[in-house]
Amino acid sequence: MSQPKKRKLEPGVDGEGGEGAQEENGGEQETVLPRSRKTKKERDQQYYECYSDVSVHEEMIADRVRTDAYRLAILRNWSALRGKTVLDVGAGTGILSIFCAQAGARRVYAVEASAIWQQAREVVRLNGLEDRVQVLHGPVETVELPEQVDVIVSEWMGYGLLHESMLSSVLQARTKWLKEGGLLLPASADLFVAPISDQMLELRLGFWSQVKQNYGVDMSCLEGFATRCLMGRSEIVVESLSGEDILARPQRFAQLDLARAGLEQELEAGVGGRFRFSCYGSAPMHGFAIWFQVTFPGGDSEKPLVLSTSPFHPVTHWKQALLYLNEPVHVEQDTDISGEITLLPSQVDHRHLRIQLRYKVGDQEEKTKDFAMEEYLTVSA
């Protein structure tokens, strides 16, 4: 699940995001004033309230890549669902729960912590499934089920895969409610990274040098200011790229098996890995993009089904998570790019994603930069 985000590109202090972001000057730490502290209960309540608005659910269900993948994955696993019990973690408006009932599930427990649970109950009633789909209001960590379940389904993925930290809730539900040998939908996730040349960003950076040609006023001096505004911040930017923006062969840097013991502890400590790229050709490098894919078991006779958010695949509402350098770096064919990336929970709010990046481009010195996701944002109705 991912809430719609607005891209904020106003001028601001580097390091916005409250994480004490590192500058690209060899790792000097910048002091950032901390936000007001909220209790975990208050932060969780704020998170749940974001899903009480219809616009969030409209965007997710309208994402045909996402919704069709879940529907097909559930139907392909009909033999594992037929006559069985299912837990839907973060059920939202209930569409995945209904898919499970349509695939033959005997009982589906649709657990939803936000106020949208009331609309989910109406959707279940409208589809005549009250006898098989039970909507339960509350966090899955505290809701009590009358029995253990055979299957857990959840659309838990956030921007950059781990923003919102909903996977932890799924893992707790797995430990508490899933029968031994039970089915997880999806079953695994993979994270990818690649260096990028963002063509839209390049146009915006070059805009100020074109003003004189159009209006007779030289404003090229603003190009450096524009670079600081658009690239100098430490915000994780959520935008769609195309395959043409990718500068080298993408690399997988982390793989999460949802059935793996100890995965919760791994998420707390940070998941990531090292990378090394050789550039395709000459271009301005603006930073890195990360994206993910999740894999569903294929059922009795089908190969596994993959839901991908890659820029080489049809766009999804997750888009890609972009990590901009402070300024463009020119690369040539075979320029070597290496480093390490780590995704971990924010120290301010465990539901917010933080990314630590260490990298080296060609003969330049190694640099570091920390990134943080913005506060929860919703689309205005």
**How far is 226 from 223, CA to CA, in rounded Å?**
5
For Cα atoms 298, 303, 308, give the angle at the middle one, nearest 5 degrees.
85
Among 28-32, 107-111, 225-229, 295-299, the range scoring the smallest mean pLDDT is 28-32
Residues assigned a catalytic role: 155, 164
> What predicted TM-score, i.e. pTM, was given to this entire model?
0.88
**How far is 218 from 214, CA to CA, in rounded Å?**
10
* DSSP notation for 367-380: EEEEEEPPSP----
Q: Is the pLDDT of residue 26 over 60?
A: no
Summary mean pLDDT of the chain: 88
Closest CA to 168 of 351, 355, 374, 377: 351
Q: Is the pLDDT of residue 368 over 80?
A: yes
334: its two tokens:
């075979």
187 in Cβ contact with 259 (< 8 Å): yes
Q: CA 165 → CA 42, 156, 266, 321, distances in Å?
A: 15, 8, 13, 16
CATH of domain 189-373: 2.70.160.11
Provide the edge-to-edge strand list for the sheet that holds 353-361: 271-278, 336-345, 353-361, 367-372
Q: Determine the average pLDDT of the residues in 200-227.
A: 96
pLDDT of residue 183: 97
pLDDT of residue 43: 66
Among 49-63, 101-115, 183-197, 288-302, the range scoring the smallest mean pLDDT is 49-63
Among 148-157, 171-180, 278-287, 367-376, the range scoring the smallest mean pLDDT is 367-376
331 in Cβ contact with 283 (< 8 Å): yes
With tokens 């190694």, the residue in question is 366
Residue 327 main-chain phi, psi, to 5 deg? -160, 155
Confidence of residue 165 (pLDDT cuts 50, 70, 90): confident
Q: Determine the average pLDDT of the residues in 307-315.
A: 98
**How far is 380 from 75, CA to CA, in rounded Å?**
34
With tokens 């805009």, the residue in question is 207
38: its two tokens:
């909220």
Question: What SS3 class is residue 112?
Answer: strand
With tokens 């990314």, the residue in question is 355
163: its two tokens:
């923003």
Q: Is the pLDDT of residue 6 over 60?
A: no
> Would you give the end-to-end CA distance of the chain in angstroms?
19
pLDDT in tens, 182-195: 999 999 999 999 99
Confidence of residue 45 (pLDDT cuts 50, 70, 90): low
pLDDT of residue 236: 96
pLDDT of residue 12: 34
Confidence of residue 299 (pLDDT cuts 50, 70, 90): confident
CATH of domain 40-155: 3.40.50.150
Describe the crossing of helices 199-215 and 223-231 by its angle, rounded to 10 degrees.
150
Q: Which residues of 331-352 are buried (b: 16+ CB within 10 A; e: fewer)?
A: beeebebebebbbbbbebbbbb
Q: Determine the average pLDDT of the residues in 149-170.
A: 95
Among 11-20, 83-92, 185-194, the range scoring the smallest mean pLDDT is 11-20
Q: Is the pLDDT of residue 30 over 70?
A: no
With residue 62 as reference, give the H or E element that holds it: helix 54-62
Q: Is the pLDDT of residue 123 over 90?
A: yes
Confidence of residue 375 (pLDDT cuts 50, 70, 90): low
pLDDT of residue 232: 92
pLDDT of residue 23: 46
Better-scored residue on pLDDT, 81 or 233: 81
pLDDT of residue 14: 36
Q: Report the DSSP beta bridge partners of residue 344.
A: 354
Q: Residue 68 corresponds to which amino acid?
A: D
Domain ranges of the chain: 40-155, 189-373
Q: Is the pLDDT of residue 304 over 80?
A: yes
Three-state SS string over 165-226 comes to: CCHHHHHHHHHHHEEEEEEEECCEEEEEEEEECCHHHHHHHHHHHHHHHHHCCCCHHHHHHH
pLDDT of residue 313: 98
Within 8 A by CB and 6+ apart from 159, the residues are 2, 5, 236, 238, 318, 319, 321, 353, 373
Q: Of all residues in the chain, what percent carry a pLDDT higher than 90?
A: 78
347 in Cβ contact with 40 (< 8 Å): no
Q: Determine the average pLDDT of the residues in 291-306.
A: 91
With tokens 């059920």, the residue in question is 91
Q: Determine the average pLDDT of the residues in 48-74.
A: 88
